[in-house]
Structure 1
Amino acid sequence: MAETTFTVTGMTCGHCASSVTEEVTRIAGVTDVAVDVPTGAVKVTSAEPVARADVRAAVEEAGYALAE
């Protein structure tokens, strides 16, 4: 099992967190997503490490941006 934390910018509420969670959960192998709106932290738990590009694409699909 792998856990990686990413920082997402632009989230301000629970709906934001839900949107990001929904999109990131669609990545193959992802088993859990935990979002902390105030800090922008998104912890992704997966069977294998997930590619940053896949997370970026999912976050952008939700309407937000992955911090560099």
Structure 2
Amino acid sequence: MKRETVSVTGMSCTGCERNVENALRTVDGVTRVNADHEGDTVEVVVEDDVADGDLHAAIERAGYDVAA
């Protein structure tokens, strides 16, 4: 397992947090997600073989941007 912190732009409320969390839960290997719109971050616990690109793609499909 590994813990990733992803910077996300565009979240402005708890509804946005839920949208991002639900999108990440669709990625195989994600075991825990916690989004924070005030800090513009999402903490994700994933299996070791989950690629960062898969996480970023799920966030972007939900309508949010991954900060560089």
Partners of 1:24 and 1:30 within 8 A in 2: yes
- The answer to whether the 8 Å contact 1:2/1:49 transfers is no
Q: Which amino acid aligns with 1:44?
A: V
Letter in 2 for 1:22: N
What secondary structure, in the 3-state scheme, does the structure 2 residue paired with 1:42 have? Answer: strand
1:7 & 1:66 partners in 2: Cα distance?
6
Matched, 1:23 2:34: no
Structure-2-length-normalised TM-score:
0.92
Residue 34 to residue 49, structure 1, CA distance change in 2 (3 Å) = farther
How do 1:3-14 and structure 2 match up within 5 A? 3-14=3-14
The percent identity for this pair of structures is 38
Provide structure 1 residue ranges, at least 5 long, that are not aligned to the other structure: none
Residues 5 and 49 from structure 1, CA distance in 2 versus in 1: closer, same or farther, beyond 3 angstroms?
farther
Does the alignment pair 1:63 with 2:56? no
Q: Is 1:50 equivalent to 2:50 in the alignment?
A: yes
The separation in 2 between residues aligned to 1:43 and 1:30, in whole angstroms, is 11
- Structure 2 unaligned segments of length 5 or more: list them: none
Aligned length: 68
Counterparts of 1:19 and 1:47, CA distance in 2: 21
